[in-house]
Amino acid sequence: MANASSITKRYWLGGAKDSTQTRFFVNALDRLGWLEGDATHWDSAWFTEMPPARVFAALTPSQSVNHIPGNNQITVKSALPQTLYAAEKRWQNLTQKTYPSDRASYIPASFNLPEDDAAFQRYASENPTAVWIVKPANGARGEGIYLLDAANQVPRTPGWVVQHYIDQPHTVEGYKYVLRLYVLVTSIEPLRIDRFYEGSVKLASAPYDPNERQNPYAFLTNPDVNARNPQAPVIFQPLASYCEWLRDQGHDADALFQEIDDLIVRTVMAACEGMRKRCRAEHGVAGQTYELFGLDCLVDASLRPWLLECNLSPSLEICAQASTGGREERAMKQALIEGLIKQVGLDSTASRQDSGYRNLFPGKDPMRYLPRFVAPSAIDQAAANDVLGTHWSPRFVPWQVEERYHGSTLTLYHPPTEQTFAPNPTASWIWLQAVRGVDVDTLISELQQSVASQPGVTHEQISDAVWAALGEWSRAGLLRQCDD
C-alpha cells in the first residue's frame, strides 16, 4: 500500500478556462509532480470566477479552493464602500491611543445611485467644487468610467457608483498612477493576511491635466484602457523601482507603505465577519479556502494612499511588451503564484519564509487590529496569544441596544432593526457582566465557578456558551469591542 507522501495530487481548473489566469498555477504544480484532475478527482481547485455553491458544499477536509465565500463584500464596486463605511462606524469608539495617526477612512466618498441619492445630494452641496468619477457598479477593466464636474449630471438610473474624484494625485514624471498590490488571505479563521513583496505601478499613458475630463488615457490607469492608446505603450514598473524613485525624490517610502499596509488590513477585517458567515453557511469551509485580491491604491499629492478597488482574481495577463518591462512583469506574476502555492501549503517542501509574502496580520503587532474583529472567536484568541506571548482576552461595550426589563426578565432591543432578543438567565448574566467591562476569560471563569455544583457541565461547554452569546450579540450590533 502506498504511503500518504507518495500519493499523486491533482489540481482542477474549474469554471471557464482562461490560460492567462491559470498557467502560472498549472506550471508551478506540474513542477511539483501534480497531475490535472477533473470535477470529481482533485485536491486543489483554481477558479477565475467564483465557484458554484455545490463546490463548497462538497469540499472534503483534504481539498482547497482559491476563493472565499462572501468576498463580494469588497470585490464588487458598489459593495466595497458600504462594507468599509459600516466597519468604520463600528470602529468609531476605538481610542487608538497607541496609533493616533490612524486615518478614519481610506476610501473616497462613494455613493450607490439611485439608493444613496439623498446622501449624495448632501455631500455634493457641502463640496460644490468636487469632481465626480462615475463607474458601472459591476464594471471591470476600466470600461464605462467617466468624469463629471456637475453633481446634477450624474446618472440616476440603477447600476452606478459615483465617487469623489481625487483630482490632485501624486504623479510619476507628470503621469497619474495607481499602485497594484497583491493581498493573500491565507486563512479566514484564524485570520491571516499577507502582502506580496512586489506589485506594479499602473501608469496612465498621457500626461495628467486636472482640467482634462475627456481623455481617458490621462485620468485612467487601467492597462486594458491604455493599451488602446496608439501614442504610448503600456509600461511595467515594479514597486521596488517606484520606492527607490520616491526616496530619490526625498519622500518617505516606508511611511507610505506603512499606511498602505494599514489600509489593507482594515479592508480585509471589514469583510472578515461577512466572509466567515458565508463560510459557515457553506458547511464550515473557512479552513479550506484562500483568496488572492488585487488592490488598487491611488496616492494623492500629499502622499496619502486611497483605496479605489479590490479586485477578485487579479489579472495575470502580461500587458507590457518585452521592450517596456514585459519580461519583468512575467517574472513578477510567476513569482506571485509560486509564492502563493507555498504560502497556502500546496508545496509541502517549501517554507513560507521564502514565498515572497510578508505577513500583515497577525503580524508583529496584532493588538493594533484585534479590537476591529466584529465577533472575535476562541480561535482568534488562541492565534493572537501565540504571536503575543501574553494573554489577550477581548472586552465589549454596549452599542446599538436598549435594555428592557419585564419584572426581573431582561430583553435586548436593537433600534436599527427593531429586533428583540430574549436571553435566558445564564445569557442575561453573561450580558450584564460583559457590558460592565468584564473580559471573556473572566466571564468564563466566573460562570464556571457558579455552576461548579452542576454535574456534567464542562469547561468547554461553558467557554462555547460565552463565546457564542457574545458573538451573536456582536454580529447583531448590540455589542462592539473596546480597546481601553
CATH number at residue 131: 3.30.470.20
Contact present, 272 and 164 (Cβ < 8 Å): no
pLDDT at 432 over 60: yes
Which residue among 66, 91, 107 closes a domain?
A: 66
| The pLDDT of residue 3 | 42
- Residue 101's contacts (CB-CB under 8 Å, 6 or more residues apart) are none
**How far, in Å, CA of 44 to CA of 60, rounded?**
11
235 versus 142: the higher-pLDDT residue is 235
Which residue among 334, 352, 372 closes a domain?
A: 372
Q: Which residue type is seen at 209? A: D
| pLDDT tens digit sequence for 144-156 | 899 999 999 999 8
pLDDT at 179 over 90: yes
Is 307 part of a structural domain of the chain?
yes
**How far, in Å, CA of 309 to CA of 69, rounded?**
18
Assign 102 a pLDDT band (cuts: 50, 70, 90).
low
390 versus 100: the higher-pLDDT residue is 390
- Residue 197's contacts (CB-CB under 8 Å, 6 or more residues apart) are 239, 356, 357, 358
pLDDT at 230 over 90: no
Across the range 357-365, mean pLDDT stands at 94
The Cβ of residue 129 has, within 10 Å, a number of other Cβ atoms equal to 6
Residue 239: phi and psi, rounded to 5, are -60, -35
pLDDT at 1 over 60: no
Residue 106: phi and psi, rounded to 5, are -115, 10
**130 and 45, same domain (yes or no):** no
| The pLDDT of residue 2 | 39
Is 378 part of a structural domain of the chain?
no
| pLDDT tens digit sequence for 234-266 | 899 999 999 999 999 999 999 999 999 999 999
Q: Using alpha carbons only, what angle is made at residue 278 by residues 420 and 401, rounded to the nearest 5 degrees?
A: 20
**60 and 45, same domain (yes or no):** yes
Is 139 part of a structural domain of the chain?
yes
**How far, in Å, CA of 405 to CA of 278, rounded?**
34
**Residue found by looking up cell 459600516 in the block:** 86
Least-confidence region, from 200-214, 220-234, 263-277: 220-234
| The pLDDT of residue 116 | 93
- Taking the alpha carbons of 101, 107, 109, 115 in that order, is the dihedral positive or negative? negative
Is 448 part of a structural domain of the chain?
yes
3-state secondary structure labels for all residues of the chain: CCCHHHCCCEEEEECCCCHHHHHHHHHHHHHCCCEECECCECCEEEECCCCCHHHHHCCCCCCEECCCCCCHHHHCCCHHHHHHHHHHHHHHHCCCCCCCCCCCCCCCCEEEECCCHHHHHHHHHHCCCCCEEEEECCCCCCCCCEEECCHHHCCCCCCEEEEECCCCECEECCEEEEEEEEEEEEEECCEEEEEECCCEEEECCCCCCCCCCCCHHHHCCCHHHHCCCCCCCCCCEEHHHHHHHHHHCCCCHHHHHHHHHHHHHHHHHHHHHHHHHHHHHCCCCHHHECEEEEEEEEEECCCCEEEEEEEECCCCCCCCCHHHCHHHHHHHHHHHHHHHHHHCCCCCCCCHHHCCEEEEECCCCHHHCHHHCCCCCHHHHHHHHHHHCCCCCCCEEECCCEEEEECCEEEEEECCCCEEECCCHHHHHHHHHHCCCCCHHHHHHHHHHHCCCCCCCCHHHHHHHHHHHHHHHHHCCCEEECCC
**300 and 363, same domain (yes or no):** yes
**167 and 48, same domain (yes or no):** no
Domain containing residue 30 = 4-66
Is 379 part of a structural domain of the chain?
no
| The pLDDT of residue 395 | 97
Contact present, 279 and 290 (Cβ < 8 Å): no
Contact present, 278 and 69 (Cβ < 8 Å): yes
Is 377 part of a structural domain of the chain?
no
Going by C-alpha positions, the residue among 9, 19, 13, 23 that lies closest to residue 47 is 13
Whether residue 114 has a cis bond before it, omega within 30° of 0: yes
Across the range 467-471, mean pLDDT stands at 98
Is 441 part of a structural domain of the chain?
yes
| The pLDDT of residue 99 | 52
| The pLDDT of residue 140 | 72
Which residue among 351, 372, 393 closes a domain?
A: 372
| pLDDT tens digit sequence for 9-54 | 999 999 888 899 999 999 999 999 999 999 999 999 999 999 999 9
| The pLDDT of residue 412 | 98
**82 and 17, same domain (yes or no):** no
The tally of domains found in the chain comes to: 3
Assign 313 a pLDDT band (cuts: 50, 70, 90).
very high
C-alpha cell recorded at residue 88: 468604520
Is 180 part of a structural domain of the chain?
yes
Assign 7 a pLDDT band (cuts: 50, 70, 90).
confident
Contact present, 185 and 157 (Cβ < 8 Å): no
| pLDDT tens digit sequence for 163-176 | 999 999 999 999 99
**244 and 393, same domain (yes or no):** no
Q: What is the mean pLDDT of the chain?
A: 92
Contact present, 199 and 166 (Cβ < 8 Å): no
284 versus 4: the higher-pLDDT residue is 284
Model-level pTM? 0.94
Q: Point out which residues pair with 200 in neighbouring strands.
A: 180, 238
**34 and 182, same domain (yes or no):** no
